Structure 1
Amino acid sequence: MEEDDDLWQQYLEVDDDDSGGGPDSQDLSSSSSSYLAGFVIANIVGLRYYSGTISGREMVGLVREPFNPHDANAIKVLNTRMAQVGHIERSVAAVIAPLLDSRLLSVEGIVPKPPKNRNPYRLPCQVHIFARPDAIPLVRDALDRGDLQLIDESDPQFALSEAAIVQERNSNSKSKAGNGARRIDDIFALVGTEDEEKSVQLEPPKEVVVSELYAHQKEGLGWLVRRENSSDLPPFWEERSGKFVNVLTNYQSHERPEPLRGGIFADDMGLGKTLTLLSLIASNGPGSTSISSVNSLEGEDETSITSGRQKKSNSGKNAGRARKRRKLDDGVRSTEVLGPKTTLVVCPPSVFSSWITQLEEHTRPGSLKVYLYHGERTRETKELLRYDIVLTTYSTLAAEFSDPESPMKEIEWLRVILDEAHLIKNFAAQQTKAVIALKAERRWAVTGTPIQNSSFDLFSLMAFLRFQPFSIKYYWQTLVQRPLAQGSKHGLSRLQALMGTISLRRTKDNQSGNKSMVGLPTKTIETCLVELSAEEREYYDHMESEAQNTVREYIDADTVLRNYSTVLHIILRLRQICNDMALCPSDIKSFLPSDTLEDVTRNPELLKKLASLVEDGDDFDCPVCLSPPIKAVITTCAHIFCQACILRTLKHLNACCPICRHPLSKSDLFLAPSTQSSKDDESKAFISGRSVSSKVSTLLKLLLETKKQNHTVKSVIFSQFRKMLLLLEEPLKSAGFGILRLDGSMSARKRSEVIKEFGNSGPGAPTVLLASLRAAGAGINLTAASRVYLVEPWWNPALEEQAMDRVHRIGQQQEVRVVRLIVRDSIEERILELQERKKKLASGAFGSKAAKEQKQMRVEDVRIVMHL
């Protein structure tokens, strides 16, 4: 286990610097528009210096090593187990490395089956070159100048390529694959069959769980327990003549690979996943330690549950090694007293209250001992191991990731559960690396929306599960990402087979789609088209025309990436106009930087103004970590990042902007001014004494109609713009509504108080909750309401589903009505088009029928949204 953990730590370091180009690499050389240009033959050298071996035809990873002290162009070669085999010979690396650094191409390596009497010091390797069509001539020219022969489709030797894409093409042109080889899609088909054991029901121990589970929860518990106690080979592994072979990569080993004890628990939101997981924790299996009976959670708040900070102990190291001693005399695995019993649950702060509430409602008081590892917390590993459940947050793990003495890193947990696991969709983020590095026997990624933007969201989940070979980026890109993104007819079927192998997904509706599987009331979704007033229409059309001209210039000049942040701001402002003109400043032109870097550089005030815009749009993400910017920084090339993200980038050799590749140094960064303290006062000033917009007027009309029918009905109004929530307060109060607000500026404790107050009934109880999706879109229960209003559409349809399912979930007793407010003939209608693309991908991943995946190219998306 310790050796495996060392390998995974190496993997985290390797993948951070690989040739894929970082977190947004799918937008560059490894994007959907990247195609196989051909391959070159190179030798892997230095075999005698490294432990990694190649025993047959095998895919290998080619990883840039820019800080190699002996060769700045070094490209190291890793096998499937992430052990280094050697390096690509210097003459070839000298040509390919600069192209990798400039992101003109990406590479994949395959070692053909070595001859019996091979040279012990070198090994031939086919280096396959992938590039965008427009970059292929540049790549070809560079290879020619470096005296490297690019073997492409016009060359007879191209048929000798071992690449899966070529083998598939060759096999399609023949009646069957030659030499008895198994096609990759045939291999996927073998493991993608539905597992009948998913339907086996299991009761939780009644001495711990006092609530009766629904049938689907019992089935889910049965599936979870069976996977945790599996002794089968992991998917895609076979035993052949005493050896163990990964049939996808052809890697061979004499050691039996560890079973995959975990997976993706992807039940639809609102189906009671938390209770099912509590039942799993209570059902740790035969021979497990008895659940401690200690302090009840009743009446305890977050502070009283959390222990004080203490001195660090080394007991965690010993406890982590205890697993190795956990075998009975008859050789059967069992979790006895020497083994770990503690489950680590990682979730957003807003979900803490949900876990505590579920514990109070569904478990016997004192049957499970829980520790909140958040805020002021113990450093004693021995103390933490006394608990059955340790609750922590992604941000806490990220903060301790660089701390070698963190007890989170020392302890080997019985299991780790990632709640709202889609939050680790960006592999380059610190919190993602932190959860991947955790030591655990069993690993669960829990999310109702495993795919939010693209199939690449799944890669981080594979890395967390340590599901080889998909947990390694270059294998994920080769086997799944590229064929899926390029619309291959086999791409979606591979993804479906993969998800069917390691995930459990049930939706609220049964297969016929007309009856809820848990007896929930129906949910109806309707779109209310809003007509702008004459003044608003004139203003919107004028601003959209100016924005279209600006974006068209970027597209024509092929500078969309360079001006990525500016385009986002333009789109942001058009969306805000649809809500209310007051949200958009009249001097929008001042926020559009000149296309010349010199003008931008000489105007630091402009840079600070651009950075401050981040606070106006909750959906704006740092391009590096794909999360809302923390301490927003803007570069001289007008791109916005988290301060920590861009500073980490500048530590690399030849530091440049991750978006446009413009050279950067610390002097090229500007910190956005902080306006948090005066936000509320400024917002109240800008909304006082003014008429309401067409969208606000429409929303008020809908609310008043509902109130007239039933004055006790509660509604949740979601907006991604905090200023919009503030703007709504005054007209709603004037109309006689009791309101509460829930947004990201509140502490976890305050959010919990707001949710509890919203659940109250009786005279004077609040009937409207104004909620930010960032604060209320995951893990909380708002079943007190039966009406949901989405003030504007989100880019990500999965976030909208999360918003709806805060209300439409187990515990809901009334019919749920969801209303989306969309301005007619506006950017909002076109955002709905993009949503449909993402919905098809997300539903197709778990579907039984393959459908051609549509390409998602950033520039094309911009064209659609801007109506160009």
Structure 2
Amino acid sequence: MYRKKFIPPLLKKPPTAPTADDSTSEPPQKRVKLETQSNSQKSADSDSGRSSQGSNGVRRVLPGSRIIAGPGSRFNPPTIIRKPLVPVTNPPVVTEKEGPKLAPENGEGRYYFNVLWRKFQARKHKTWDGDGVLAIVNGSATLQDVNGRDIGSGRVSKIPAEGDIISLGGKEVEIDSVLPKSDFMAGKPFLKSKANQVDTEPTIAPAEIYAKNTFKPPLLSGTTVTKINPQKPVARFDPNAEGALVMKRPDISSKSKIVVDVVVDPIISRHLRPHQREGVAFLYETVMGMRPYEGRGAILADEMGLGKTLQTIALLWTLLKQNPIHNQGPVVKKAMIVCPVSLINNWRREFKKWLGNERIHVFVADGKSNVRDFTHGPVYNVMIVGYERLRNIQDKLKQCQVDIIIADEGHRLKTAENKSAQAIRSLATPRRVVLSGTPLQNDLREFFVMADFVNPGILENYSTFKKQFENPIVKSQQPEASKADKDLGNARKASLTELMNKFVLRRTAKILTKYLPPKTDVVLFCRPTKQQLELYQAIINTTVAKRQMGSMDTALQLITLLKKVCNSTSLLKPKGKDDDEAKLSNSILEEAKVAGSALVSNNSSGKLKVLEKLLVALKETTKEKVVLVSNYTSTLDILEKMLNSRGFHHLRLDGKTPANKRQDLVDKFNRVNSDVAFAFLLSSKSGGAGLNLIGASRLFLFDSDWNPATDLQAMARVHRDGQKSHVYIYRMITTGCIDEKIYQRQITKQGLADSVMDQKSGGSNFTSAELKDLFRLDTDTACNTHDLLGCECGETGELPGEDIENEEEDEKDEPIQMTGWTRASVVDMDKQEEAYRKATSKARQRMKALLEFSHINPDKITHGALCDTSSKRSTEEDEEEDDIKQEEQEDEEPLPIVEDEILRKVLDGNPKAISFIFTKNSI
């Protein structure tokens, strides 16, 4: 470029003091005029080379020259010597119109990028159509989709940078990342192999070819990223803002890494309750490896209704967008949520509710979707898949790196041989989170499998765990355990609990007291009908049934048969099936000489009669809706016939309900009134977990499952966020039959779970001999469970005494040995009374769960006297005050023994239908 010769600035005349001659003259000129050179001066200047003269005769002063003027002349200032100026070469200026030229890569001028593309859209919230690859060769750009098909081409004037959006071939293209030339030439972006999915980093210096990244405007305010100074790292969200949820900082010793605060997006954190904020922080620390144990897995074991889904969404959104190490990508790029098929739509709705469709794209792996859409490209960051579907697509998921896996209702992974657990392990994902309201259901082995699943090797192998933890803990829970066994078991339990608390977070529903309406749990022991008793007794007396009792493998078939008798005798109708259960049922009925006519009546069930009367009372006196839960679809058929006979409108969800219609049924039931849908028939195996049936205020669990977690999950469907009415949960049990034995077994398992998970004092509530006595029919008891409890509460509704003496036991004490007949003269009655008192005290100590209930025997309450007016008044006042209070109480309403008005109405009309009641008021 041509440059003119540098001309130094002119010098100004310094100010001089005015003289007398100048007082009347004009003021001096502001600009100093240069004198006209004489001929002699011109020659001198030319000889010295220090000055030059222009065409107008004015002398130009060059750098380093000295100007000398004569005295007294206004144009001749004193001598001024100036230091020469240093010449500077200015770089050429590049205008914005020209832009940086294409810088060739290795002299070839070829560049490749992973991009997102879409057709031009006019709507406000735009979406991307798919992933693609952009190739730029000597300024000519070609756009291809993930299948290698050309979908656009054009010319570009400069190399785009990450985040730039350009127009090409009628489409908008956003640059996602640089694709190495070697990967493009090998066709790796278009292949499915995992080996082809490598991290792509720029191989060209950004300073040489990239223009300055332009700031991409956010779609919503919640995704706004503050412009930061590259010299000073700034958090994505303000950690000092009011209510900000700031995660724990990692301990980084490397000077090359700069730590920045990780702050949960305010769009979610402002909705989190205190216990949920604690849960998000706990999960973040565990998956980031900040907890003092080896592993990056966690178990969120909150009880139902505490918001495990919301806590998980907050965690994933934080990990997908932030990293505690400055200038690095997000911690998680791909996340997967595995859940029962009935909860897939619920998870999708929760993501939309809290984040919207604009912030995150959720991929649902159903039968119609292509898993390749998730494994290739960054369009989808989260995938929701069912346990059954996961087993079929596990090979396809290996084509990409899944950074974190969330297993909802993770108690399904309770066995090491579980195919879903094996599928997840095959993905080699280090970060795993299990969500389960009931992590310990049957035994400690299941808990070991879950702990080893999230943190492999944390509890060594199972043989070591069983010997060092499981056996001592279980043995200490038995009533016949010695003091040494109890001390060892308590010590091992404390050690296991300390380790477990590092990666397991457990909170109970008690913290929801101020968020949810009150709840009343009612256990109804219903007397069996005469027909049920006769059929039950005939079945257990058959030789076929007695052979079944001898083996646990064959006893399950007999147990299923007896459970059907408890639900309804019509379930035993002969079937033409050829399976083992049908053959057993037909052979037993044939031997018992049970006529087919005896099985026709659908109303030959004590539980069914009580349920029908309760539903009729609810329908006639209230506008409430109900949920009816059963473990068997055949039982749901019986309940549906009963509802139809009464003209009660209802909805039904079981295993035959299509997965894509289940959430619609739930939404409809919650929305309409009782005239449109009075009841909701629910299969506990198909929809007993995760669903929110807050449209109903009463739930009836018609039959029980061996696994207490199944029943607990089902009973929690109505007492959840959004519920506004007082909730009543009814568990229906047939007195003296297999129903009651199963309930007792549930208490045993729940006692073990409470002991380990909730650190409660409890355990195995019944001896092994009592648990084996499953098939005995008790016809002379109002409640066998209350008899085993040894409670002396009076059975009139008052809470049992909870002050149990903790007596020190001698290590030499042994259980009472029954040796046969003993003469009355040698029996020590005092010793036997003392042994009975200790045994009763131990039983009550072990069964604190049932001591929280009020025990009511309707036979001990006179008809119409279900309200008490005397027993709950103070008795420590003198006679005069008692007389005054008695007069005042005459006008007061009586205190109800049974607070549920609907249940009182049924008891008044049919006092013999219900033999015993356990009731408890909670949150």
Q: TM-score range by the shorter chain?
A: 0.5 to 0.7
Displacement of 1:817: 0.2
Amino acid at match of 2:341: P
Question: Could you report, residue by residue, the CA deviation over 1:396-435 in whole angstroms, capped at 9, with x for unpaired residues?
Answer: 222345xxxx232343322111000001112112112112
Q: TM-score, normalised by structure 1?
A: 0.53
Structure 2, unmatched stretches of 5+, are 1-246, 249-260, 477-484, 588-596, 779-923
1:215 aligns with 2:211: no
Matched residue SS, 1:525:
strand
Q: 1:385 to 1:735 in 2, by over 3 A?
A: same
Q: 1:439 to 1:480 in 2, by over 3 A?
A: same
Q: 1:532 to 1:203 in 2, by over 3 A?
A: farther
Matches within 5 A, 1:498-509: 498-509=499-510
Other-structure match for 2:568 = 580
Other-structure match for 1:270 = 305
Equivalent in 828, 848, 859 of residue 759 of structure 2: 848
Equivalent in 625, 630, 642 of residue 731 of structure 1: 642
1:376 aligns with 2:368: yes
Q: 1:850 to 1:691 in 2, by over 3 A?
A: closer
CA distance in 2 between partners of 1:799 and 1:396 (Å) = 22
CA distance in 2 between partners of 1:812 and 1:333 (Å) = 42
Matches within 5 A, 1:745-756: 745-756=656-667
Displacement of 1:861: 3.7
Matches within 5 A, 1:361-400: 361-380=353-372, 382-383=375-376, 385-400=378-393
Matched residue SS, 1:535:
helix
Matches within 5 A, 1:759-774: 759-762=670-673, 764-774=675-685
Q: 1:686 to 1:223 in 2, by over 3 A?
A: farther
1:532 aligns with 2:444: no
CA distance in 1 between partners of 2:348 and 2:320 (Å) = 23
8 Å Cα contact 1:532/1:823 also seen in 2: yes
8 Å Cα contact 2:506/2:757 also seen in 1: yes
Other-structure match for 2:434 = 445
Dislocated runs of 4+, deviation >4 Å: 285-288, 332-335, 549-555, 611-614, 685-692, 849-857, 865-868
1:356 aligns with 2:348: yes
Q: Alignment length, in residue pairs?
A: 497
Equivalent in 597, 609, 612 of residue 700 of structure 1: 612
Amino acid at match of 2:551: V
CA distance in 2 between partners of 1:749 and 1:815 (Å) = 31
CA distance in 2 between partners of 1:393 and 1:361 (Å) = 21
Displacement of 1:852: 5.9
Displacement of 1:554: 6.0
8 Å Cα contact 1:412/1:441 also seen in 2: no
The alignment-based identity, stated in percent, is 26
Displacement of 1:484: 2.8
Other-structure match for 1:670 = none
Other-structure match for 1:479 = 468
CA distance in 2 between partners of 1:571 and 1:838 (Å) = 18
Displacement of 1:442: 1.7
**C-alpha root-mean-square deviation of aligned residues, in Å?**
3.3
Displacement of 1:444: 0.4
Other-structure match for 1:495 = 496
Question: Could you report, residue by residue, the CA deviation over 1:12-63 in whole angstroms, capped at 9, with x for unpaired residues?
Answer: xxxxxxxxxxxxxxxxxxxxxxxxxxxxxxxxxxxxxxxxxxxxxxxxxxxx
Q: 1:856 to 1:276 in 2, by over 3 A?
A: farther
Q: 1:391 to 1:231 in 2, by over 3 A?
A: same
CA distance in 1 between partners of 2:599 and 2:681 (Å) = 16
Displacement of 1:394: 1.3
CA distance in 1 between partners of 2:377 and 2:772 (Å) = 49
Other-structure match for 1:812 = 723
8 Å Cα contact 2:695/2:718 also seen in 1: yes
Matches within 5 A, 1:3-152: none
Matches within 5 A, 1:210-609: 212-231=271-290, 233-234=292-293, 259-284=294-319, 287-288=322-323, 336-337=328-329, 340-380=332-372, 382-383=375-376, 385-401=378-394, 406-470=395-459, 472-487=461-476, 488=485, 489=489, 490-510=491-511, 516-546=512-542, 553=547, 560-561=551-552, 564=553, 566-585=554-573, 608-609=578-579
Other-structure match for 1:713 = 624
Amino acid at match of 2:370: T
8 Å Cα contact 1:492/1:850 also seen in 2: no
CA distance in 2 between partners of 1:538 and 1:704 (Å) = 28
Q: 1:772 to 1:457 in 2, by over 3 A?
A: same
Displacement of 1:742: 0.8
Displacement of 1:215: 1.6
1:205 aligns with 2:206: no
Displacement of 1:786: 0.9
Q: 1:335 to 1:359 in 2, by over 3 A?
A: farther
Matched residue SS, 1:528:
strand
Other-structure match for 2:815 = none
8 Å Cα contact 1:426/1:460 also seen in 2: yes
8 Å Cα contact 2:403/2:430 also seen in 1: yes
Amino acid at match of 1:760: R
Question: Could you report, residue by residue, the CA deviation over 1:331-377 in whole angstroms, capped at 9, with x for unpaired residues?
Answer: x8579338641111010100112111212222233111100122133
Other-structure match for 1:775 = 686
Q: 1:708 to 1:203 in 2, by over 3 A?
A: farther
Displacement of 1:831: 1.4
Question: Could you report, residue by residue, the CA deviation over 1:248-287 in whole angstroms, capped at 9, with x for unpaired residues?
Answer: xxxxxxxxxxx52231001111111101111111111774
CA distance in 1 between partners of 2:393 and 2:496 (Å) = 34
Displacement of 1:762: 3.8
Displacement of 1:840: 0.6
Amino acid at match of 1:466: N
CA distance in 2 between partners of 1:477 and 1:537 (Å) = 42
CA distance in 1 between partners of 2:411 and 2:322 (Å) = 33
Matched residue SS, 2:314:
helix
8 Å Cα contact 1:286/1:334 also seen in 2: no
Other-structure match for 2:241 = none
Amino acid at match of 2:362: V
8 Å Cα contact 1:787/1:818 also seen in 2: yes
CA distance in 2 between partners of 1:501 and 1:335 (Å) = 30
CA distance in 1 between partners of 2:292 and 2:745 (Å) = 40
8 Å Cα contact 1:720/1:773 also seen in 2: yes
Other-structure match for 1:791 = 702
Amino acid at match of 1:493: A
Other-structure match for 1:625 = none
Other-structure match for 1:177 = none
